[in-house]
Structure 1
Amino acid sequence: MAVAETHWKGGIILHALPAEGACMTLDQLAARTGLARDRVTRLVTPLNKNGLVSMVRLGCYRRTPAGDSALAAGKFKSGPKGPKRVPSKKSGLKDKLWSALRMLRKATVPELLELVDTTGLKDPDGLTTRYLLHLRKAGVTGLARKRVAGTAPTSNGYSQHILLRDLGPKAPVWKATAKQLLDPNKGGQPILPTAEVEHD
């Protein structure tokens, strides 16, 4: 996506979000703006990191006073009018999970899947758990000592996955034939494993 396009689409997100009152979920933002849900996630991430929007609760956002100031100063425009562009290719599950993990920094599997469109996927929980296992074995993520309480009476809770090594915007890729996790941000170099430890 071009920088200019990213900029004005970030403005679309800011214009769509409320500054007070109820927050908006990613699905609501996608419906209001006409953008694909995964595109909305990618646009919200830098806005959140720069303090222009805030996550009121998991997956639900509101514009901040800094966001108001950015709009008032003309730093973001609502964007050109015209037909909507159809994304040429949908991101894979690992790309969406990686974007969500980089945004949250610490999350359970249910929290990650709350931010990811899993339409048409079989066993998204299992796929997510396996991908996180590859990340953890390579030392990209770690496990928090404390588990998050589950909703079922018999549940022993959910593991919290902590991002330890932010490798860049491109998601690490598991190469099954070589049994290696590769870093596309560095031309597909293998990610060397590190010692697995628990974190607070």
Structure 2
Amino acid sequence: MIKLGLTGSIGMGKSTVAAMFADEGVPVFDADAVVHQLQGPGGRILPAIEAHFPGTTGPAGVDRPALGAAVFGRPDEMRALEAIVHPAVREERAAFLNAHADAPLVVLDIPLLFETQGEAQVDKVAVVSAPPEVQRERVLARPGMTEDRFAAILAKQMPDAEKRARADFVIPTGGPQDETRAVVRCVIACLMPQSGG
């Protein structure tokens, strides 16, 4: 099995690219989706989050604005939250890999792959990238996003140029989706040459 780490900064189109891999029949582990599930209604880490951050969870799961307010700009609290979330995500990833043990290729969609030294867990890395103006337009179109929040998120992420330099593959998303899909297919063909592309 080849484990391909898929990463990219905010607004680069990573979710779109992950869906393209899934469309081609490649199992995709979406770390963000798993976090949403773990923190959603009945999520298994809710009790630990509520214990550390009282009043941030309810019947609908984590109250994102409340939890965000509890950790934003507070590194110690952010680390406390990560200490709850990250081990649970690692367990879910192990279960995913176990369930797809026969797959020749799997994609691990990990937003902060380089920032969390996650490249050691994968065989190859694909970085999703778009021009800065495209990224900015996409991100600022999101509900509740502001220039300040965007700047704060970017400050926590490794610069796109550095991610591209460290990647085995760069998947561009600034142009038509057909072009992006063609690159995704090339990456799959490159990693699974026995499939005949």
TM-score, length-scaled by structure 1: 0.26
Q: Which has the higher contact order (CA 8 A, sep 6+)?
A: 2
- Structure 1 or 2: larger helix share? 2
